[in-house]
Amino acid sequence: MKKAFTLIELIFSMVIIAIAFSVLPKVLYMASKNATTSLKEEAMYNAIAYAGLIRASAWDENNTDFDDILLVNGADRNASYDCNTSTGYRIGGFVGSRNCLEDKNASALGSDGGDLDDIDDFASVSAKNSNSSRQYDVNATITYVGDTFFTTATSSSLTNSKRIKIIVYPKKKASELGNAFVQLNFTLYNLGQLRVNKRSWN
């Protein structure tokens, strides 16, 4: 009957234990890295979905009632985009195209009545993911910017361009992810609303 380990068995045991201890930290690191990557992908997907929701909303509160291109008079606007007051159209516009016939002005930024029917309203909303292991907030900021292509300079006056910035802030793993680990930026323009005409068939 065998009562003790042989030297070769002890050596093999030590080798196996050494391999396990050298591999285990790498496995745990890869698992943690995969979880972080998965969280980033999920947050990016939710930020894109949030951007789509904002993009599908009216450009201004007045566009919820009128399809018009709205009138703006800010110092940073591009005057060549102004509507012709006699025709009710911008340069290049034609009868039946998007127009300014109702003479409605764009409104100042800010939530209107607590509803989410135009772009500005999303600035007061914070979308939250409250899963126990995946907690983060998705916030949007909306500002007027000058009517120059690719500008990011904020304008204090009303223009034809609204810049939207969506930022995801982590509530957990902030040290690994960074304070704002997902950011999306895009600009939406005062082009009026496109509405499909409806006809009833008899």
Is-contact 40 48, C-beta < 8 A?
no
CA-based end-to-end distance of the chain: 99
Domains of the chain by residue range? 8-61+107-189
State the CB neighbour count (10 A cutoff) for residue 169: 19
Which token pair is 195?
A: 């509405």
| Closest-CA residue to 189 (of 59, 78, 74, 61) | 59
Q: How would residue 4 be classed by pLDDT, with cut points 50, 70 and 90?
A: low
pTM reported for the whole predicted model: 0.75
61-95 pLDDT, tens digit per residue, is 888 888 889 999 888 888 888 888 788 888 877 77
The pLDDT assigned to 51 comes to 92
Q: How far is Cα 154 from Cα 190, in angstroms, rounded to an integer?
A: 16
Is-contact 60 70, C-beta < 8 A?
yes
